[in-house]
Amino acid sequence: MTRDSADRAALFRRYVIGYLAVAHPDLQLVRISGMKAICARKEIQYETGETSYKEAAGSI
């Protein structure tokens, strides 16, 4: 998939962000470590409209 790409890391990062948006919209990417995506669970406080994040257990 990324063998001929000049910037494989950026391509993989865009792939992970797209996957999370479709399959797990409640998660936000924190960082990528090797082939693991470290994510935080989005928590929306409806009174203020602010979004905060908590470290999610496990990896995708």
Q: pLDDT tens digit string along 42-59? A: 876 666 666 655 555 555
User: What pLDDT was estimated at residue 35?
Assistant: 83
CA distance 11 to 6: 9
pTM of the predicted model as reported, rounded to 2 decimal places: 0.62
CA-based nearest residue to 37, from 24, 46, 50, 52: 24
Per-residue pLDDT for 60 more than 80? no
For 36, the enclosing helix (H) or strand (E) is strand 36-45
User: What pLDDT was estimated at residue 39?
Assistant: 92
* pLDDT (tens digit per residue) in 11-35: 889 999 999 999 998 899 999 998 8
